[in-house]
Structure 1
Amino acid sequence: MTPRTTRLTAALAVATAALIGLPLAATASSAATAAVPAAVQATPAGTVVPLQVTGPAASRFNLVVMGDGYTAADLPKFRQQVDKHLNVLWSIEPFKSYRNYINVYAVEIPSPESGVDCDPNLTSPKVDTPLQMGFWGGCNPASVQRLLTVSATAAAQYADLVPGTTPSNRQILAIGNSDTYGGAGGTYATASGGNALSALITPHELGHSLGGLQDEYDYYARGARGAAYEGPEPSSIHHTLLTEQQMLAEQKKWFRWLGEQSESGGRIGRYEAGMYAGSGVWRPSRHSMMKVLGYYFDQVSRERMTQRISSRANLIQASTPPGPVAPTQVVWLQTLHPASHELTVTWTLNGTPLPTNNQRFIDLSTLSLPSTTPHTLTATITDPTPFIRDPAVRASITTTRTWTINPPAPTQAKAQAAATTQAARAEGEQAATLAGGAGLAETSAAQRRSASAAVPAASQATFTASTATEQPVNAGEVVYVETTQSDSEQPVVTWRLDGSVVANPGNDRDLPLAPLNLTGTHTLTATVGSDTRTWQVDGTTPTTTATLSKPLLKITKPSGPEYIYNDAFTMSLKATDNSAGYVVPEFRVNGDGWYNYYGWPTDADLPFRFTAEGTEIDQLVYGKLGVPRVVPWDDVPSGYGRHQIEYRAIDAPGNIAAPERFAVTLLRPAPTCTTTLTGIQNRPLTLTSGVTCLTDATVNGPVTVRPGASLVATDTKIQGPVDASGAADVHLLRTTVSGPVNLASTSRSAVLVGSTIAGPVTVLNAQTTEPVVLAGNTINGPLACTSNAATPTNLQAPNQVAGPRSGQCRAL
């Protein structure tokens, strides 16, 4: 595994060391072993490998990833695929922000045979594998090919090998050794491991299994649009029969998000179809992850996923036991730690808020409490994430803890007050100079150290948990630590960046790095007593290189390169980084939602292919430029014209690179050739009918195009003029003409791109539906355009013209 996928937490080093590398029989508890039937005992042993351990399994959401159909020789492939699945998952919200709430364990199970059942067809063989994974719903002729199922009994048996996990605090993800597209969501999530889209199947299926989200497809069986929805208002949070006005008026469904830019592209609104129905029901976004793999969750689904992840973990990880406490002690708690922000802890005394600056403890000896009556101390932990807007959802993940402060006996109270006063005087100056020093936390820490000789000194405090130190943290992360605790000691944590103290008042257990605006590589340390933890801060963003197929024309501008193509073109994105682990490339078109770059659906090593209408693969549509088509019956505008494509990458630590961009103009393709000429043509050419294509040719003489005939010259040299009168089409593409070009009364299309003309160019009386294209040409003579049905265009690629420009071409 890469460092990114081994985010082991030092607090659990002893526990996890007991798991790494041990076989099934050794890692199972005696109770779990006794519960395993004899048939399962005979199956291959499994090895539990902790990949990311952020806390005790009993207080975390645990993702248990197991592979099926991987022989011992295949296990390196399984590990590599899991690395990709996880890094893609961590690049998607809310998994990115709540990564620290999740433990991830892999269960490696050497399979007797390689592969899974019925892959890819019902006639394909069955395979001897521990989890009995198979396509067609487990080889069921009445099912669908892409439904990849797993033996629930076997999956549960292997998941039980991870101590502390139970069906209520874990999610099983079974990955099959297959390159065929497929997966399933439900109690367990499944995905094929080697398909180009496999890593995107995982978050989609977790949307079902963890989030209870529904599919937003307008079909069930591919290739057949679903019937109209005829049921009542759906219980699904992201489907409705209501109009936007009704949602707002009745304050139902996603009314709080209406009109906002969707995280998955477009705006949050009302889009017809979903839940396998082709009409009659509406969803929030044009294409969120629950409809199209590759996009993010939209805000409606993201809110639900945030709620479900949070509900599977305990916001309060430890604390002073609730109930009676003494008026001189320290009351403390430890919370979870989102990777993107701090949780908010509010302390109240008898219902009145205390000015605690989000710290995680209260020194009761500093509060000047009346000693005659009990008092109620309450800590409320809330998550201020903007991912949640529904007050009910926020309340569902808000936690409180309450203590009763009992008054001491009169003589005891007097003695304790005197001790506290003496301690405060003796240590006040020292407390004021502690690192991160201002505020109640530091002052009260000094008082506590002097007030009780029975409590260990701060120098003896140690760390109990932290953000993993085994790999870099990103420059926007919130790094956290936890320390030993006592009723009279709250050690101060000192943070240093490259050796210099970083002020961190209030909650000194979390250090947000984003305000530091770090770039490059830095060393971060946290010290408590004599214990220090060290992280490398990776502030270097990944690099993404875009490689495009050969264009008709490339233009370099300050805003980025621009390309002109006539029909299909391909784009390959290669992302690299200075940190180990899979780097996630993304792109978006015309400011739409970011889309995961996975290569091509049929082969992850092939580049992504853009066309005006998209390419149909297994009855879905990929690569539609402009407004996407998802299924063949989508009625959307064609992708011809000018578009902007941005691309970026997210590295394993979580840094997101600033996007780079290019513009692309997609022209309609040249007409299909009826005659193709290549090589040297030592004669004049007169074209009288059909479509003559000159490809990598040299014509030693003039070219004449008669009425109704067409010429397409690509990468060709014409030693003479080109004269076309009444031609259907004339396309001069990256072509050199040693003479004038005269186009008169062209009827269908005229395109001159990236060509060099040694003479004047005249375009007269073109009756084409779309404008004549004159883009990026070098014209050693005048350019004149007159009486054309549509004004010619240069596609924002000016021509270099040696002579005057006149008529409709004056600005070209």
Structure 2
Amino acid sequence: MRIRAGLCVAVLVAAGLAVATPAAAAPVDAATVVPIQVTGDPAKRFNLVLLGDGYTEADLPAFRSHVDRHLNTLWTIEPFKSYRSYFNVYAIEIVSPESGVDCDPGLSAPRRDTVLDMGFWGGCNPASVQRLLTVDGVAANAYADLAVGTTPGNRQLIALANSGTYGGAGGSNATASGGNALSALISPHELGHSLGGLQDEYDYYGRGVPGDTYEGPEPDSAHHTVLTERQMRDTRAKWWRWLGEPSEAGGTIGRYEGGLYLQRGVWRPSRHSMMKSLGFYFDQVGREQMTERIAGRVGIVEGGTATDQPVGADRLLWVDTLHPVSHALTVTWSVDGRAVPRTGNARHLDLRTLRLKSGRHTVTATVTDPTEFVRDPAVRRSPSLTQTRTWTVDTGVRTPPVAQPLAITDSTATDRPVGARDVVYVRTSQPADRVPRVRWSIDGRPVADTGSDRDVRLGALRLSRGTHRLTARVSDPATRAVVTRTWAVDATGPDVASTLSEPLLTTTRPGRPTEYVYNGPFTMGLTGTDDGTGQVTAEFRLDGDGWHNYYGWPTDARSPFRFTATGTDVDGLVYGNLGSGGLSVSPFAERSPGYGRHTIDYRGIDAVGNIGAAHTFVATLIPPPPACTRVVSGRHTGPLAVTTGVTCLRTATVTGPVTVAAGAALVAEGSTIAGSLASSRAAAVELLHTEVRGAVALTGTTDHVTMVGARVTGALALTGTTSAPILAGGQVGALTCTGGPAPVDLGAPTTVRGATGGHCRASGS
């Protein structure tokens, strides 16, 4: 049985495949804990701990590079991108005696002496599957404990193997091969399981083996259902609030059959998403649940004025909140259940302005996350996204004066630039009798309105490209003390350049995307550049579908992505499919060839989250030439008769006329025919960047006529062709079409120097 790497632990156990589980303690050799990102006390954050196995001392630079790629990819995917500040990240650098891991890539490969005992084939188990990459959970957790403050309850382990072979596994001890093209996409998928409680949306269990039919009740999974769209709307169930909207994973939120490892009888919200096809985003349904689970692991109210005893009405109250990267949490205040007006989302409330009646009162600060990622009111009201802090205020209590020096006690990190659309915040000292004043400036110019004096929404400033200097100036109205904090703002999006395989034809027109014609598979390499440091993550989309991470090719990150009419089967999955079903599909899924015109957009996301401008090109794929049974190259003197099979002229020069008999085919590439060309009931005629120094008369062609970049000195006469001839990017002396469909030009019309007759005139050829 073949198991898809990335299955959750429960599935692996059900399949009889052992996955190591945590233990309380284990011997630990020397290792180095590297804090990659620390946004707060580990007890109040969700902690990602990345460990390396099979990395020798000399391999540690590779481990650091693998960690960077995993994290930079993770931070481009929502909701991780918006809630990056809720995570602490630690890398545990462990030196293994030997390089590599066990049974890589096969059972006959040697065992390696490594600290975490990682291995393919479920730890070299012949009954397992090759890509199931396991780890010694006892050892992994012992090393993770070196990251002080992290525990099995507040962290996620990701063990990276020093390998370029595809593999991984899910659960609390997630694994991935560090150097594989797709490995950085395993991590967010596994977090979908372990952190988000999401299920796999595959319609197969073993790769290449179609799933059967779901026959159970309504699934507990938030993103699987047996209900129709109407039933979802009528009962307000599952993803009814998102139905009909463009999916963040491409297409439209609706009802797509297949999921839970089954092909029929159960439906998912999107054609593809992170939980079905690595490389796409979470759709809105999965993203909403991920948002709730991430926020639920941290607590959006962090502290503030103590609540353990009554406070006086002669002071200020303070509340401390978390700060997402993309937006600000909202704070509202109430007294005895009645809202306090015009508090302006402030993290403080001056009780002295309320003129409270004598006695005791209840004051509540309600903190809510207004993220657009959540639509379910029950989720919005849940403790994950709405929390309160409550004080008893006694007008008989007097607050003693306490000297407190002015300080910035917390803020958005300053050790790296912030993005041009980030929300930047400061937290100040919190005296009971006054409010430290915060004023923001950008490049020395005051920021007029930040929404709240404790944060600034950079996106509203519409900063010009380049690096800017953001400053928070905090002053104490009583002591006139001043403290400042400064950030570099990276307002320049990254750029991505494409490298395409050699096309059959290129067409450029002012103000339009460049168009390419291919008559076979073509490749696209993407390379990102940025004025800042860190990785540029490139992504692309096909025909307006979902943005897809660019990882090179699944078997080699250094190789370009390959597009074909029906995709390429790589280890039981299909990649680069231009046909029906989407870019990445199961090999048993029905799909028609994707010949025709396709629009491909590509862009980059830099290390601080800026999204660069998208570039676009158009690729038209036409069927490939028939296979040659005879090849002519160099000089052929005199006439050439093609009587049977497929004759191919490759950089050939024919000094006489060419004739093609019934049922035969001619494919001329980069060649010259000094005389005329004639055919009667030929199967196919293709002239690709070929010159004919005479007339061309093609009658009754039964399969196809393709002329791309061809030059015909004399007249071209097309009579009774079965399918629409392709005349693109060429030049002919005159053109006549009689019978059969009109020609198509693939966006690159053929120039006709003389007259145009028949239905060619109507087609514009």
Counterpart of 1:542 in structure 2 is 494
Structure 2 residue ranges without an equivalent (≥5):
1-22, 476-481
CA distance in 2, matches of 1:468, 1:738: 71
Q: Is the 8 A contact 2:566 2:579 kept in 1?
A: no
**Aligned residue among 568, 575, 587 for 1:615:** 568
Counterpart of 1:399 in structure 2 is 387
CA distance in 1, matches of 2:255, 2:493: 36
CA distance in 2, matches of 1:631, 1:453: 70
Counterpart of 1:191 in structure 2 is 176
Residues 213-264 of structure 1 show CA distances to partners (whole Å, capped at 9, x for unaligned) of 1111111211211222233222111111222122222222111111111111
CA distance in 2, matches of 1:468, 1:526: 13
Counterpart of 1:522 in structure 2 is 468
Counterpart of 2:622 in structure 1 is 667
Counterpart of 1:796 in structure 2 is 747
Determine whether 1:565 maps to 2:518. yes
SS of match in other structure, 2:122: helix
**Aligned residue among 447, 455, 473 for 2:403:** 455
**Aligned residue among 227, 235, 245 for 1:260:** 245
Counterparts of 1:172-187 in structure 2, within 5 Å, are 172-187=157-172
Q: Is the 8 A contact 2:359 2:396 kept in 1?
A: no
Q: Is the 8 A contact 1:188 1:209 kept in 2?
A: no
Q: Is the 8 A contact 2:44 2:298 kept in 1?
A: yes
Counterpart of 2:339 in structure 1 is 353
Counterpart of 1:271 in structure 2 is 256
Q: List 4+ stretches of structure 1 deviating above 6 A.
A: none
Shift of 1:453: 7.2
CA distance in 2, matches of 1:723, 1:80: 61
Classify 1:619/1:36 alpha carbon distance in 2 versus 1 (closer, same or farther; 3 Å). closer
CA distance in 2, matches of 1:453, 1:496: 32
Shift of 1:324: 1.5
Residues 292-316 of structure 1 show CA distances to partners (whole Å, capped at 9, x for unaligned) of 0000011111111111111111211
What letter matches 1:469 in structure 2? T
Shift of 1:278: 2.3
CA distance in 2, matches of 1:773, 1:368: 84
Counterpart of 1:783 in structure 2 is 735
Q: Is the 8 A contact 1:81 1:193 kept in 2?
A: yes
Residues 162-193 of structure 1 show CA distances to partners (whole Å, capped at 9, x for unaligned) of 11112221111111111111111112211111
SS of match in other structure, 1:200: helix
**Aligned residue among 689, 705, 725 for 1:734:** 689
Shift of 1:702: 1.9
Determine whether 1:215 maps to 2:200. yes
Determine whether 1:63 maps to 2:48. yes
Range moving further from structure 2, 636-645 or 646-655: 636-645
CA distance in 1, matches of 2:595, 2:538: 25
Determine whether 1:503 maps to 2:448. yes
Counterpart of 2:279 in structure 1 is 294
Shift of 1:391: 1.7
Q: Is the 8 A contact 2:493 2:530 kept in 1?
A: yes
Q: Is the 8 A contact 2:579 2:591 kept in 1?
A: no
Counterpart of 2:412 in structure 1 is 467
**Aligned residue among 586, 594, 603 for 1:648:** 603
**Aligned residue among 651, 672, 684 for 2:639:** 684
**Aligned residue among 325, 337, 357 for 1:339:** 325
Q: Is the 8 A contact 1:315 1:335 kept in 2?
A: yes
CA distance in 1, matches of 2:246, 2:625: 38
What's the Cα RMSD here? 1.6
Percentage of identical aligned residues: 57
Counterpart of 2:37 in structure 1 is 52
Q: Is the 8 A contact 1:626 1:643 kept in 2?
A: no
Shift of 1:345: 0.6
Q: Is the 8 A contact 2:495 2:613 kept in 1?
A: no
Shift of 1:727: 1.2
Shift of 1:506: 5.0
Range moving further from structure 2, 222-231 or 645-654: 222-231
Counterparts of 1:95-244 in structure 2, within 5 Å, are 95-244=80-229
What letter matches 1:407 in structure 2? T
Counterpart of 1:423 in structure 2 is none
Q: How many residues are aligned here?
A: 727
Residues 374-426 of structure 1 show CA distances to partners (whole Å, capped at 9, x for unaligned) of 121110111111111112222222100111110127xx7xxx9xxxxxxxxxx
Residues 411-451 of structure 1 show CA distances to partners (whole Å, capped at 9, x for unaligned) of x7xxx9xxxxxxxxxxxxxxxxxxxxxxxxxxxxxxxxxxx
What letter matches 1:306 in structure 2? T
Q: Is the 8 A contact 1:589 1:626 kept in 2?
A: no
SS of match in other structure, 1:759: strand
CA distance in 1, matches of 2:716, 2:754: 10
SS of match in other structure, 2:81: coil
SS of match in other structure, 2:714: coil
Residues 262-282 of structure 1 show CA distances to partners (whole Å, capped at 9, x for unaligned) of 111111111111111222211
Classify 1:739/1:86 alpha carbon distance in 2 versus 1 (closer, same or farther; 3 Å). same
CA distance in 1, matches of 2:443, 2:112: 55
Q: Is the 8 A contact 1:71 1:113 kept in 2?
A: yes
CA distance in 1, matches of 2:450, 2:737: 71
Shift of 1:454: 4.9
SS of match in other structure, 1:677: strand
Counterpart of 1:447 in structure 2 is none
Shift of 1:490: 2.7
CA distance in 1, matches of 2:387, 2:32: 36
Q: Is the 8 A contact 1:621 1:632 kept in 2?
A: yes
CA distance in 1, matches of 2:291, 2:106: 37
Residues 548-590 of structure 1 show CA distances to partners (whole Å, capped at 9, x for unaligned) of 1111111012221011111211111111111111111111111
Q: Is the 8 A contact 2:450 2:456 kept in 1?
A: no
Shift of 1:140: 2.4
CA distance in 2, matches of 1:453, 1:246: 63
What letter matches 1:800 in structure 2? T
Residues 332-368 of structure 1 show CA distances to partners (whole Å, capped at 9, x for unaligned) of 1111111111101111112221210101101111222
Counterpart of 1:554 in structure 2 is 506
What letter matches 1:720 in structure 2? G
Determine whether 1:382 maps to 2:330. no
Counterpart of 1:632 in structure 2 is 587
Counterpart of 1:280 in structure 2 is 265
What letter matches 1:528 in structure 2? V
| TM-score, with structure 1 as normaliser | 0.87
Q: Is the 8 A contact 1:144 1:221 kept in 2?
A: no
Shift of 1:766: 0.9
Classify 1:232/1:140 alpha carbon distance in 2 versus 1 (closer, same or farther; 3 Å). farther
What letter matches 1:559 in structure 2? R
CA distance in 2, matches of 1:680, 1:523: 68
CA distance in 1, matches of 2:727, 2:160: 53
What letter matches 1:566 in structure 2? N
Residues 447-502 of structure 1 show CA distances to partners (whole Å, capped at 9, x for unaligned) of xxxxx97534xxx4221222221222111111122222232243112211000111
CA distance in 2, matches of 1:468, 1:505: 19
Q: Is the 8 A contact 2:319 2:389 kept in 1?
A: no
| TM-score, with structure 2 as normaliser | 0.93
CA distance in 2, matches of 1:136, 1:239: 30
Q: Is the 8 A contact 1:66 1:106 kept in 2?
A: yes
The structure where helix makes up a greater share of residues is 1
Range moving further from structure 2, 224-233 or 214-223: 224-233
Residues 755-809 of structure 1 show CA distances to partners (whole Å, capped at 9, x for unaligned) of 12212211111123xx111111122x22111111x22111222122111222221
Q: Is the 8 A contact 2:24 2:138 kept in 1?
A: no
SS of match in other structure, 1:304: helix
Structure 1 residue ranges without an equivalent (≥5):
1-33, 417-451
CA distance in 1, matches of 2:615, 2:98: 45
**Aligned residue among 564, 587, 590 for 2:540:** 587
Q: Is the 8 A contact 1:58 1:165 kept in 2?
A: yes
SS of match in other structure, 2:651: strand
